[in-house]
């Protein structure tokens, strides 16, 4: 296990696809708590709202999801609220923190889809596009313990001797 922190940037805009990115980030943080999550919410110039209110709302959303996943207090996170173009701001935060991974939602058709595409093409690290699972559940075959065959011999080591070289002294254990 590594103790080096790993920075994960997560694009979030309160949409269904952003919720998928949030779920994926929660999964990453739960399995490896040395990840530091950076949630980026970008306000576009045409829809500028109160940035402080958006930051508080996003922080509360993240805390609620962390509490539900029972990882609150184990995973560090930061909230970044920027004004500008979403893809450019996500990439800017990723560069500023030295991101190891960027997680973005698939986005809806139209402008938001281009955000994920631009991030994938221009990122300087691995990018994961999170989306809702569309495959149906497939039950796998059940593992059944089989009675051991009485004639079965467990594998063991062999040693060979050659007149020219002794590979192993005979008194050494085989463990």
CATH number at residue 72: 3.40.50.620
Residue 73 is predicted with a pLDDT of: 77
The verdict on residue 1 lying in a domain is no
Q: What's the pLDDT tens digit per position in 68-101?
A: 888 877 888 999 999 888 999 999 999 999 999 9
Domain count for the chain, please give it.
1
pLDDT at 166: 58
Look at residue 41 in the predicted model and tell me its pLDDT: 92
**Boundaries of domain holding 36:** 6-130
Residue 139 located in a structural domain = no
154 versus 29: the higher-pLDDT residue is 29
The pLDDT > 70 percentage for the chain reads: 80
The yes-or-no verdict on residue 108 having pLDDT over 70 is no
Residue 68 lies in a domain: yes
The reply to whether 152 falls in a domain is no
Do the domain assignments include residue 80?
yes
Integer Cα distance of 23 and 28 in angstroms:
9
Domain for residue 158, yes or no?
no
């Amino acid at each position: 296990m590594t103790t080096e922190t790993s920075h994960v940037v997560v694009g979030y805009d309160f949409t269904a696809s952003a919720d998928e990115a949030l779920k994926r980030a929660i999964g990453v943080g739960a399995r490896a708590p040395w990840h530091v999550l950076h949630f980026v919410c970008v306000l576009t110039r045409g829809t500028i709202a109160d940035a402080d209110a958006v930051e508080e709302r996003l922080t509360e959303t993240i805390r609620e999801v962390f509490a539900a996943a029972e990882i609150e207090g184990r995973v560090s996170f930061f909230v970044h609220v920027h004004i500008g173009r979403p893809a450019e701001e996500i990439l800017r935060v990723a560069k500023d923190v030295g991101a190891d991974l960027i997680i973005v939602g698939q986005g809806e058709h139209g402008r938001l889809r281009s955000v994920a595409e631009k991030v994938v093409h221009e990122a300087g690290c691995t990018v994961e596009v999170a989306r809702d699972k569309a495959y149906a559940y497939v039950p796998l075959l059940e593992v059944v313990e089989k009675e051991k065959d009485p004639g079965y011999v467990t594998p063991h080591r062999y040693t060979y001797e050659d007149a020219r070289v002794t590979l192993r002294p005979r008194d050494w254990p085989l463990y």
